[in-house]
Structure 1
């Protein structure tokens, strides 16, 4: 993917020039090492500013990412102090400001309180983001797998779907869908800033809580208790049941994501993670 930035330097330069209202060009670019699907570029421009180029790429297509929806989500979050406003949403990708600070997952103190507060704030955003089906996302992943692999996963998928809560109890909110400590930066002047809105959408709050627990390796009960207290939700047990019911599907979605990553990048870590989730779900299904 090292050839992606040179191909797009002209539209990026144009976008930066509009942003600064003066002629601007890229003077340095380096690929970001962090991130599993990002494969993004850190850019330094001739005005001394820094930004991140998030291209439309093979990985974006493989993981069913919509950069336009991502831009809308980040812009909505920026309006409420959770993220920086995107610089430009282009046909070739998304240009966003670089956020300087300390990644939350690299701090010594427990990040749980900060993370739950961010989760609550995101769920309190105006529901102005499109609803994107997680079932369609899952099917998109499966379509890229071999027939043998899909057959291998069929029983686990059916079981995971059967565990899901009834849609009548859904609470549609803006969901980040990947709110891990690795996607939060603590800044000196703005506090916590949330990155990587590429999977964000309107969806059931309980699914996002389930994904949040998995992303941060947190026990659901403690998260739910704090979340409900901050949201002033009295029916804590009802929330707990729905979150727990979503967990198998959340794990299955992650399994498929890792399978796609294993096929795309040929890295052992992806396949190892997929196999671990498969064994975990198979054991849960057996009871």
Structure 2
């Protein structure tokens, strides 16, 4: 047994009494935290568990609350009737496992593609009801460490991060300025899950089985939670189903309201849909910074860092309604992308393709679990490089970004919307060519 497994077994004995650990494996995915599944056999029988952890306390230093408070929140949510996992124990320094907590494993489906391919008929209503339950949790029951979000302050922090990353992405600048101009009045605070979307819920044949990943929870506007799961990226290709990739917004809102949620304000919902798309665009850039700084050197970080292009495409699609009809009807400028036929010695692109093909044929088939996930991520990274080598497409334009941020350039400027559309189409074609919204935008814009 590895040292890691021995330490985990010792922690389990402290939480659950005598027993033996087996079938330890790291679950794939998880952009920020590690999840480890295992079986624990005791006199009462064998049962599945999950360890959610960060490798060290230093990894949690920039977070508003740690795993002990996160676990307390999950416990409070479960006691309040929310389908949250059952926490059985929280790690401490003597366990030698970093920071984290152990839960009973919920045996249900979590993969969005599998869920959305054939969702249970009650799932959209289940999710609306469950979100209303989360928002109804008494604030007195929420751990004191859970922060309260001030929307104006949070937007200012996003703007500061954008400027810190160079301040040179025009679409992000446009979105920041729009949010500044449409900042809603403060709402009565509720517990906001903060990451309520497909990928963070578990589903079985009866419907919703569990709500996972509470690390972004805070007190704030209920509409933030309602909007987040409806972002294009979290609908996983189901573009005709705007509510979590499952159905209509009206049905989702009706389920939420009938379960006790406050009436949904459509304009406030739109603000949060744009804000959180902006937030995730900057979150992707932050992933790249985390890799560059050495804080997280996994290949997954650099790949997610290139997903900013998806969010910029979505922001243009969300904000183009602000442009005059004449600008929305304007034809796109010609794309600089052009196919080149190589000749002579192998090009850099051909060498990258050879390595990618080798991973696909020789490494991926022999891998399993998280190692297989990492092989796929590595293939994606090389695919981006392959497409980018000769494309000559860049998203940076500091002068235009400054104008948009200052409000001296708007979507009423002749040709600007067409220019932004062309730019996001070409960048997304390099970074995320399979992104469902890319094909939809091409069809809508004639690109």
CA contact (8 A) 1:63 1:260 kept: no
Q: Deviations over 1:243-269 (max 9, x none)?
A: 112222111111122222344344465
Task: For structure 1, list consecutive stretches of 5 or more residues without a partner in the other structure.
Answer: none
Could you tell me which of 294, 297, 311 is aligned with 1:277?
A: 311
Alignment of 1:115-264 (within 5 A): 115-127=127-139, 128-129=141-142, 130-133=146-149, 147-152=164-169, 153-154=172-173, 156-167=175-186, 170-186=187-203, 192-214=209-231, 215-216=234-235, 217-218=242-243, 220-231=249-260, 233=262, 235-236=263-264, 239-263=265-289, 264=291
Highest CA radius of gyration, 1 or 2? 2
Report the TM-score when normalising by structure 1.
Answer: 0.78
Aligned to 1:88: 89
Distance 1:220 1:62 in 2: 37
Pairwise CA distance, 1:81: 4.6
Contact 2:197 2:229 in 1 (8 A): yes
Q: What displacement does 1:14 show? A: 3.7
Residues 231 and 189 (structure 1), Cα distance of their counterparts in 2 relative to 1, 3 Å cut = closer
CA distance in structure 1 between the aligned counterparts of 2:101 and 2:157, rounded to whole angstroms: 22
Give the deviation of 1:276 after TM superposition.
1.9
Give TM-score scaled by structure 2 length.
0.53
Structure 1's 8 and 163: CA in aligned 2 closer, same or farther, altered over 3 A? farther
Report what 2:106 is aligned to.
99
Higher mean alpha-carbon deviation, 138-147 vs 92-101, is at 138-147
- In the alignment, the residues of structure 1 paired with residue 193 and residue 36 of structure 2 have an alpha-carbon distance, to the nearest angstrom, of 22
Question: Do structure 1's residue 69 and structure 2's residue 69 form an aligned pair?
Answer: yes
Give the distance between the partners of 1:141 and 1:99, measured in 2 at CA: 35
Shift of 1:140: 7.7
Partners of 1:42 and 1:28 in 2: how far apart? 8
Aligned residue in 2 for 1:56: 54
Q: What SS does structure 1 have at the residue aligned with 2:215?
A: coil
Q: Residues 35 and 227 from structure 1, CA distance in 2 versus in 1: closer, same or farther, beyond 3 angstroms?
A: same
Pairing partner for 2:22 from 24, 27, 36: 27
Q: Tell me if the contact between 1:42 and 1:50 (Cα under 8 Å) persists in the aligned partners.
A: yes
Conserved? CA contact 2:125–2:256, under 8 Å = no
Partner SS, residue 199 of structure 2: helix
Distance 1:8 1:157 in 2: 46
Deviation string, structure 1 residues 208-245 (Cα, Å, up to 9, x no partner): 11113224442544433432333275x55xx2221112
Helix, strand or coil at the partner of 2:229: helix
Is contact 1:40–1:53 with CA below 8 Å preserved after alignment? yes
Whole-Å separation in 2 of the counterparts to 1:99 and 1:143? 40
